């Protein structure tokens, strides 16, 4: 007699009890700026830092973990993300101001941190209003805009390591370089303290308005995009730096399409979901740009957008 087949256990049944929320087979496309990508096996929204620490300490070591912010720098592949995707929600969005320092949870939007700074008369954090992500994403990416980056303002950041132990990292410990942070990839930021300097509210607001106008002018901000696709390459032996967008422009990238993906006409380091793109279309279009730039200029463009998850077999399209 054949043994009856046991129904496969879903990953969610192996996860430790938490105060936050698990969602099985959770669609991710709707939470990403590109609006593409497959589901996560499980999305976990921790109630607070303690809940997240206890989850990390107790979760099975073989389960892959991925933390995301508001996915403004992410391409989620069409086959989805295996394991648990951690999203920091309500328990991580508090922002307070004390003297010249703003303390923000890692799930807080950069733009909200900029507003709290303005209301407290703290200047120097206006650049955050130009980055559409969270404080956690800004720490991981050393996010920056209009002449300032996180490296210039972070005093310290709190993070949990893969086993849930809490660490307080000072600026040196964060190891920030251009769009990069040296902290282990499996550590999760939970909060940061950012230092500005005394300023007048009206002047701070003016600077934020200038940034908003400059962004409107130069970036396709009302589209489905992931922001700058490639990091600007480091200067060559001649000491000259290249801008990724210039190289892309010079290889005929502006407006280039693949399936439903397109290189922005306004800013050609931005890729767009022009309607019905798959993640594979977007990734393949990016790879085509890298290939052309390498062939013509010998320069390797490195992805600034983080690509996560697995491809779906058979996806793709032709470059037009």
Ligand X SMILES: Cc1cc2nc3c(=O)[nH]c(=O)nc-3n(C[C@H](O)[C@H](O)[C@H](O)COP(=O)(O)OP(=O)(O)OC[C@H]3O[C@@H](n4cnc5c(N)ncnc54)[C@H](O)[C@@H]3O)c2cc1C
| Interacting residue with ligand X among 113, 145, 279, 280 (CB under 6 A) | 145
Task: Tell me the three state secondary structure of residue 116.
Answer: helix
State the CB neighbour count (10 A cutoff) for residue 74.
Answer: 26
In terms of residues, how long is the chain?
320
| Interacting residue with ligand X among 84, 117, 188, 284 (CB under 6 A) | 188
Helix intervals (H) in the chain: 49-58, 110-119, 135-141, 171-174, 201-218, 244-250, 279-297
Task: Decide if 231 contacts 244 (C-beta within 8 A).
Answer: yes
DSSP 8-state code for residue 37: -
Under the binding rule (CB under 6 A), the answer on residue 256 touching ligand X is: no
Under the binding rule (CB under 6 A), the answer on residue 157 touching ligand X is: no
CB of residue 218 to ligand X, shortest distance in Å: 10
DSSP 8-state code for residue 238: T
Which residue, 200 or 209, is less far from ligand X as judged by CB? 209
Under the binding rule (CB under 6 A), the answer on residue 74 touching ligand X is: yes
Is beta strand 81-87 parallel, antiparallel or unpaired with respect to 40-45? parallel
Residues marked active site are found at 179, 228, 304
Under the binding rule (CB under 6 A), the answer on residue 69 touching ligand X is: yes
Site residues for ligand X, window 124-143 (CB under 6 A)?
130-134, 136-138, 140-141, 143
Quick note: the x/- pattern for ligand X over 90-129, rule CB under 6 A, is ----------------x-----------------------
Task: Decide if 197 contacts 123 (C-beta within 8 A).
Answer: yes
CB of residue 298 to ligand X, shortest distance in Å: 27
∠ at Cα 149 (143, 153), nearest 5°?
115
Positions in the binding site for ligand X (CB under 6 A) = 33, 67-74, 88, 106, 130-134, 136-138, 140-141, 143-145, 188-189, 219, 221, 225-227, 306
């Amino acid at each position: 007699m054949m043994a009856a087949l046991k129904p496969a256990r879903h990953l969610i049944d192996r996860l430790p009890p938490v105060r936050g929320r698990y969602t099985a087979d959770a669609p991710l496309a709707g939470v990403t700026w590109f609006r593409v990508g497959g589901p996560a096996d499980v999305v976990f929204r921790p109630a607070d830092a303690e809940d997240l620490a206890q989850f990390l300490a107790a979760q099975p070591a073989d389960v892959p973990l991925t933390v995301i912010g508001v996915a403004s720098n992410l391409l989620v592949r069409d086959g989805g993300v295996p394991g648990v995707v951690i999203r920091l929600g309500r328990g991580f969005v508090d922002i307070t101001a004390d003297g010249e320092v703003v303390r923000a949870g890692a799930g807080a939007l950069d733009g909200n941190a900029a507003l709290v700074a303005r209301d407290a008369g703290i200047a120097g954090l206006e650049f955050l209003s130009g980055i559409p992500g969270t404080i956690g994403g800004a720490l991981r990416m050393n996010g920056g805009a209009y002449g300032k980056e996180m490296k210039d303002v972070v005093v310290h950041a709190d993070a949990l390591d893969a086993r849930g132990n809490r660490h307080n990292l000072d600026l040196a410990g964060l190891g920030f370089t251009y769009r990069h942070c040296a902290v282990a990839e499996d550590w999760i930021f939970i909060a940061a303290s950012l230092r500005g300097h005394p300023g007048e509210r009206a002047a701070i607001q003016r600077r934020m308005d200038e940034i908003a106008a400059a962004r409107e002018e130069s970036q396709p901000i009302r589209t489905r995009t992931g922001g700058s696709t490639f990091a600007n390459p480091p200067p060559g032996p001649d000491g000259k730096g290249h801008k990724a967008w210039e190289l892309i422009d010079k290889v005929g990238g502006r407006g280039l399409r693949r399936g439903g993906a397109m290189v922005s006409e306004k800013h050609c380091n931005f890729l767009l979901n022009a309607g019905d793109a798959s993640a594979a279309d977007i990734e393949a279009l990016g790879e085509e740009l890298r290939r052309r730039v390498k062939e013509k200029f010998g320069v390797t463009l490195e992805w600034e957008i983080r690509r996560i998850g697995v491809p779906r077999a058979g996806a793709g399209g032709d470059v037009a």
